[in-house]
Amino acid sequence: MNINFTLIAQAIAFAVLIWFTVKFVWPPLLTAIETRQKEIADGLAAAQEGKSALEVAAKKSEVTLNEAKQKASEIIGQAEKRGSQIVEDAKGTAKTEGDRILAGAKAEIDQEVNRAKEGLRSQVSALAIAGAEKILRKEIDANAHSEMLAKLAAEL
């Protein structure tokens, strides 16, 4: 168990090893580990950010959806109102038109009746004249009495 020169040789070897580790081994490992740690931390932070952004977006979409629903129901209500109004209007128009058509038809019928009456009148007068002619053939001169007969026909 003698202390000898080995002591110094080993101490020098130790010093060289420490220098080597300080210079070449430790820094790259430290850089690699610290960079990775930072990357992981950044990734986690980004994930958290994304999560909160998603929450905000979900809330926003819900609000938008509700708005859209409300608007849709509003529009539907308006449309129903407008529809019933249109139906009412149509009913009114139809009634007016119907009345107009009815009045027209009535007027035509009246006209027709008048015309028929006119025809009938002239026919009746002709018949009456024919009848009277037949009855009075002998005593009444058609020519002498035609003026009177025409007056009669006009009175009918």
Partner 1 sequence: MSTEHAEQALTPSSYITHHLSFNAKPIGDGSFWVLNYDSFIMSVLLGIVVMGLIWWVARSATTGVPSKGQAFVELIFSFVDEQVKNIFHGNRHSFIAPTALTVFLWVLAMNAMDFLPVDVMHHFVYAPLGLEHWRSVPTSDINTTFALALAVWILMIYFSIKVKGLGGWIHELFYAPFGGAKFFKPKSAIGFVGLLLSPLLFVANFAFNIIEYVSKPLSHSLRLFGNMYAGEVIFLLIGLWAATGLTGTIFGAILGAGWSIFHILIVALQAFIFMMLTVVYLAMAHESH
Question: Which residues lie near partner 1 (CB under 8 A)?
Answer: 1-11, 13-15, 17-18, 20-22, 24-33, 35-36, 39
What minimum distance in Å lies between the beta carbon of 48 and partner 1?
22
Residue 138 CA, chain-centre distance (Å), reads 89
Closer residue to partner 1 (CB): 26 or 52: 26
Which amino acid appears at position 66 of this protein? Answer: N
Give the single-character DSSP code of 101.
H
Helix ranges (H only) for 1-156 are 6-20, 26-136, 142-155
What minimum distance in Å lies between the beta carbon of 49 and partner 1?
22
Closer residue to partner 1 (CB): 20 or 59: 20
Closer residue to partner 1 (CB): 9 or 75: 9
Sign of CA dihedral 97, 101, 102, 104: positive
What minimum distance in Å lies between the beta carbon of 41 and partner 1?
13
Number of CB atoms found within 10 A of residue 155's CB: 8
